Amino acid sequence: MVLDFIAPRHCAVCGRRLQSAEKTLCVSCLLDLNISDYFSGGSGNRLERTMWHRLPIERAAAFMTYDHEDAQHDMVLHMKYHHQPRIGYHVGRLMSRQLVECHFFEGIDVIVPVPIPRDKRMQRGYNQSEQLALGISRVTGIPIDTHVIRRLPYKISQTQLSAAQRQENVKGTFLLNTARRLPFFQRRNPLALRGKHILIVDDVITSTATVRECGKTLSQIPDITLSVLSMAVSRNLINNIRKGNPEEDPLPAPP
């Protein structure tokens, strides 16, 4: 590609110069990904089962696993905190191409990315879950709804909280948007989604508290079905799920 000589592109994670066939991430970073067991699209994987007793969901999948010490964690940090929204878009496309093969998206009507509080969005300039959703929508053609639900700031910062305290802290931080209190361009009648199958897209799952709270709020819409898709799930959570203790999540929250 001639443009690569004029304006070289670099890997969004390691910074290495990209070859013409590479997009956003280099082959080496892609090969480093730990593809999770929870990506089969099959029914009843552990992630699904963990959520079943807390939130009635149809399907759940996470593309990869990550730990604080591996390349995936770098990718998550770059995507969330280093102004690299294109990682989310790219991974969104990558994972949905594979999930399409497993019929994961069958029957899903609309994608709802987990919102972030307004101050965080202003600070970062984007919502990383929305970027993932854009990539998924590009491959699947499923529309995105970013106005049905919104996120309030945490009561206290999550950084130093234990897993149990974080679950408590996230309670009540999601609200369905009602037309009356919003400017006209954000107005959305949640009842427009009545009877729909909604895919909640979350960037990373370190504990299931956020996605469950988001799902619980969306469940106020009558007759909806929920599914969940995430780019990454923390290995600590997986280990705890394996031990039959899904509520314990000793990983500290990102800053």
Q: Where along the sequence are the contacts to Zn ion (CB under 5 A)?
A: 11, 13-14, 26, 29
Smallest gap from Cβ 71 to Zn ion, in A, equals: 8
- Closer residue to Zn ion (CB): 26 or 198: 26
**CA–CA distance from 233 to each of 81, 110, 236 (Å)?**
18, 22, 9
Smallest gap from Cβ 229 to Zn ion, in A, equals: 24
- Closer residue to Zn ion (CB): 26 or 221: 26
CA distance 73 to 206: 12
Smallest gap from Cβ 7 to Zn ion, in A, equals: 18
- The H-or-E segment that residue 98 falls in is helix 85-101
- Closer residue to Zn ion (CB): 80 or 90: 90
Q: 177 near 219, Cβ under 8 Å?
A: no
Helices and strands counted in the chain (H then E): 10, 6
Smallest gap from Cβ 92 to Zn ion, in A, equals: 18
How do 174-176 and 197-205 pair as beta strands?
unpaired
- Closer residue to Zn ion (CB): 34 or 169: 34
